[in-house]
Amino acid sequence: METNSRIFVAGHRGLVGSAICRSLRRQGFDNLISRELDELDLRDPAATRRFFAAEQPEFVVLAAAKVGGILANATFPADFIFDNLAIETSVIDAAAREGVRKLLFLGSSCIYPRLAPQPIREESLLTGPLEPTNEWYAIAKIAGIKLAQAYRAQHGLNAISLMPTNLYGPGDNFDPQSSHVLPALIRKMHDAVRAGAGEVVVWGSGTPRREFLHVDDLADAAVFLMLHYDSGEIVNVGTGVDLTIRELAETIARAAGFTGKLAFDASKPDGTPRKLLDVSRLTALGWKPKVALVDGIAETWRWYLANIAHE
Ligand code: GDP
């Protein structure tokens, strides 16, 4: 990839896509191509093929996806499986037909079996049943990995796939119903502090363990792999460190200045008990994350105050 290469970032408005655009520009790659959803619906294979034929991108980052937290997955299962399958099939097929030099596909740590040995190695893929609360999304992402591998095998498409752990950062979705836990708790703590409330409700038991990666680190890893990795084997991207949801809530409470009580709502699902990635494949390639969780939370908190809280 050269600094003047034509790079299509699909999903440039999202948490991941926008961070990858920032990271690419910071590293001198400024010939970026993007399209708004009302200009190009990537679920439409014919429109996607016309776009690729006209624009001739040389490199593609496939960060467009239908994403959401544990409740959104349960509420919109058809959207989560259909939109993601449709985006993947149309983009990967168009990329292969138009001779794209390299494509990066973004998967997710929820592709792994619910009870995979921890930390989760890439080899755990398809060795056991999935976590039911997000299996629609997971099935679509597994199909994306297999599409990338099949197009590499049959059509010589240099498609690589990375599996990020739970991501957070500026530009995240803070909607209490559809967001992931970290932005949801930032919002709940903020609302509680503003209202002088003595209690914040945390879903589930607080005991599940999760790993959180700042999206700027993920973006940095994505560019690193675009530059230095050319295999069809999937690569985990994470910090290698996890904590309980209770510990996460306590950390966010400190950042937000919330001194009240945490209440745990057992009527909400816990999801998978633990999700920690083994990141040794990536560290062996020479990449490490930079953002410590407390710093990343403080930064995301400030971003939330400046951009969302006043709405
Ligand atoms: P997951 O990693 O796919 O399970 O996705 P989430 O980020 O949505 O949820 C992670 C964990 O945080 C689950 O155990 C949730 O029950 C828990 N959690 C606690 N409070 C919240 C909240 O306000 N919103 C969300 N989305 N999850 C929460």
User: What's residue 84's pLDDT?
Assistant: 98
Query: How do residues 110-166 score in pLDDT, each as one tens digit?
Result: 999 999 999 999 999 999 999 998 999 999 999 999 999 999 999 999 999 999 999
User: What's residue 85's pLDDT?
Assistant: 98
- Whose CA is closest to atom 12 on ligand 1? 181
Tell me, yes or no, if 137 is annotated catalytic: yes
Q: How confident is the model at residue 311 (pLDDT cuts 50, 70, 90)?
A: low
Q: How far apart are CA 87 and CA 97, in angstroms?
A: 15
Q: Average of pLDDT values for 174-189?
A: 94
Q: Which residues 6+ apart lie within 8 Å of 247 measured at CB?
A: none
pLDDT at residue 310 greater than cutoff 70: no
Q: How confident is the model at residue 65 (pLDDT cuts 50, 70, 90)?
A: very high
Query: How do residues 201-248 score in pLDDT, each as one tens digit?
Result: 999 999 999 999 999 999 999 999 999 999 999 999 999 999 999 999
Which mutation among 181, 213, 265 tests ligand 1's pocket best, with the greatest number of atoms within 8 A of CB?
Answer: 181
- Paired tokens of 74: 């349960």
SS3 (DSSP) at 63: coil
Q: Which residues 6+ apart lie within 8 Å of 158 measured at CB?
A: 101, 102, 103, 152, 230
Residues near ligand 1 (Cβ within 6 A): 69-70, 110, 134, 166, 179-181, 184-185, 202-204, 208, 210, 245, 268-271
Q: How confident is the model at residue 16 (pLDDT cuts 50, 70, 90)?
A: very high
Q: Average of pLDDT values for 65-84?
A: 93
